Amino acid sequence: MLFNDNTTMITYNANFYKPYWKDIQKDYDIYIGNLNFSSLECSDIKCKCVGYCKIHAYYERSLILPEEKIILFILRVICKKCNTTHAILPSFIVPYSQVPLEVHIEIIKLYEKHNSTSEDEKKSTSEEEKKSASEEKKKKKKVSASKIAEKLNNTKIDAAKILYIIRQYKDQWRERLKSLDCTVTKDISKLVKSCFDGYKQQFMQIKCTPNVLYFLKE
């Protein structure tokens, strides 16, 4: 799903993380039905108005579950003050990714467990040793991706997707978590809140589309 330049996101803090629901659309619709639109703040940094968001449209979004890939209909609201549209996403979704947040975290945990740099690699000094260590590291990465795929409870996520998630984590989020004094072993809801507090983004969100965390009052 492509957003236009005037689209931002609001992520509501789902107090449960079950990306394998049979009735995921029904559960999403129930949450939307309980949403107090008058309390929504426009996530556009130039606006930030409260109470101007109204129902605008729905769009289709894919989500990869263990048994199948499903289509989820996501609500988009529009701020009547600035005309910015906002996708309303549950916090188990990573923006622009079909892989649920919980699976991202599971992949990263397995990666961190099995792919730490060996002492021999750290001590390599000659060019030949560095080249050999680099080649060995690439082999390990391929093997680990296959092993991670085998351990995941999701046959729809192959080694290529796993390598992509690992690469994005290493390039964009590993150091961010360190700066927040946070790890993927942290409680998921606390991890999500830390990322929004520190970077105004969902964990593993790659694009810099504005995103705010909203706590749904039940």
Give pLDDT, residue 81: 94
Residues 6+ apart with CB under 8 A from 101: 17, 19, 91, 92, 93, 94, 188, 192, 202, 203, 204
Give pLDDT, residue 67: 77
Q: Cα(216)–Cα(28) distance, rounded to whole angstroms?
A: 12
pTM (two decimals): 0.81
The domain spans of the chain are 7-99+194-214, 101-186
Query: Torsion over CA of 8, 12, 17 and 19, rounded to 10 degrees?
Result: -40
Give the residue, 214 or 73, on which the prediction is more confident.
73
Q: What is the pLDDT of residues 110-146, one digit of tens each?
A: 998 876 644 444 445 566 666 666 665 555 555 578 8
Q: What is the pLDDT of residues 62-80, one digit of tens each?
A: 999 877 889 999 999 999 9
Tokens of 69: 């890939």
Query: What percent helix, strand, coil does the chain show, rounded to 5?
Result: 40, 20, 40
Give pLDDT, residue 34: 87
Selection from 153, 179, 42, 174 nearest residue 111 by Cα: 174
Give pLDDT, residue 87: 95
Report whether pLDDT(175) > 90.
yes
Answer yes or no: are the C-beta atoms of 77 and 53 closer than 8 Å. yes
**Cα first-last separation, the chain:** 30
